[in-house]
Amino acid sequence: MPDEGREIVNRLVAQRVHLLKIHNGLSRETFLAIAEEAKRWRLPFDGHLPAGMTIVEASEAGQRTVEHVGALGPVCASNPAALQQGRGAPPPTEPIEIDRPRCEEALRRLVRNGTWLTPTIGAPGQGIPRTRAFNLALVRMAFAAGVRLLPGTDWPGGGYWRGQYATASRTPWDDLAGMVEAGLTPADALRVGIVNPARLLGIQHQLGRVEAGYLADLVLLDADPLLDIANATRISAVVANGRLVDAAQRQRILDSELAAQKGTAQR
């Protein structure tokens, strides 16, 4: 309800939160009430595309980030009904056509409003082929238009929303590889993963560069990710808060975490 949405915003402002997370289950009216109240307090609001809203409408309302490339689908598909997958029916194989003029206009609006997009495209080859081809094309168009992209963390599969996070640690790397599949260069994808989050949060003078005065948080790799984005996963060591975690110590930490995850799953 709109009034409840406003009340919750004010309650969170009193708790000095840094941003609001928008849920896709919000009604149009409730979302617009939340957006109005959040802007009154100059509180950023990020998250999913609410029900009954287009990505352009959410952007115009002031939503700072929009999660998932699927939010672009309805405004970019020539026939939005082609995005629906019938239950029990074999998946169609014909390409999903893009209304390029309409899609490009939507992307220009996102750029003008400074709206960020988190595609969560996932690793190469994931998903239904025709849908993946469509989504890759949208990521390519968004990047070419100047939409600022972010790396996603929730492409581990259907269990994620139930709290099954066992594969989430690899997902940002998968997302960067997916962006390269979409047409970004490895350097472009690395900037999405390293520089853009710092820019979004306004801490680009602390993170995103290996330079004196910046926080000493970085990974050391065994191979050049500019030659192959997959090399970003070939981690030799980690420097966290200025402290070196070598390969052996890192493996012990990972083994301990994996054991804890298994223990939790067996309860």
Residue 163 has pLDDT above 60, yes or no: no
Question: Nearest CA to 118 among 180, 184, 49, 42?
Answer: 49
Question: Are residues 226 and 100 part of one domain?
Answer: no
Question: Are residues 161 and 86 part of one domain?
Answer: yes
How many Å apart are CA 150 and CA 34, to the nearest integer? 24
Helix (H) and strand (E) counts for the chain? 9, 8
The most confident of the ranges 28-37, 147-156, 161-170 is 28-37
- CA quadruple 213, 215, 216, 218: dihedral positive or negative? negative
Residue 146 tokens, joined: 């100047």
Question: Are residues 164 and 119 part of one domain?
Answer: yes
Question: Are residues 183 and 150 part of one domain?
Answer: yes
- Domain carrying residue 259: 211-267
**pLDDT per residue over 49-107, tens digit each?**
998 899 999 999 999 999 999 999 999 999 998 888 766 667 788 999 999 999 999 99
- The percentage of the chain sitting over the pLDDT mark of 90, rounded to a whole number, equals 68
Question: Are residues 188 and 80 part of one domain?
Answer: yes
**In the sheet that 243-245 helps form, which strands lie side by side, from edge to edge?**
218-221, 235-240, 243-245
Q: Which residue has 């309409």 as its token pair?
A: 102
Give the end of a domain, one of 202, 230, 258: 202
Give the pLDDT of residue 170. 59
Question: Nearest CA to 219 among 195, 236, 202?
Answer: 236
Question: What's the mean pLDDT when you consider all of the chain?
Answer: 89
Give the pLDDT of residue 266. 62
Looking up residue 219, the CATH number of its domain turns out to be 2.30.40.10
Question: Are residues 128 and 169 part of one domain?
Answer: yes
Question: Are residues 172 and 138 part of one domain?
Answer: yes
The most confident of the ranges 120-124, 130-134, 143-147, 206-210 is 143-147
Give the pLDDT of residue 88. 66
- Indicate whether 29 belongs to any domain: no
Question: Are residues 176 and 159 part of one domain?
Answer: yes
- Measured CA to CA in angstroms, residue 78 lies from 19, 186, 245 at distances of 34, 30, 50
150 neighbors 196 (Cβ within 8 angstroms): yes
Burial of 36 per CB tally in 10 Å (0-12, 13-18, 19+)? middle
> Domains in the chain: how many in total?
2
Give the end of a domain, one of 156, 179, 202: 202
**pLDDT per residue over 178-232, tens digit each?**
999 999 999 999 999 999 999 999 999 998 888 899 998 999 999 999 999 999 9
Give the pLDDT of residue 264. 67
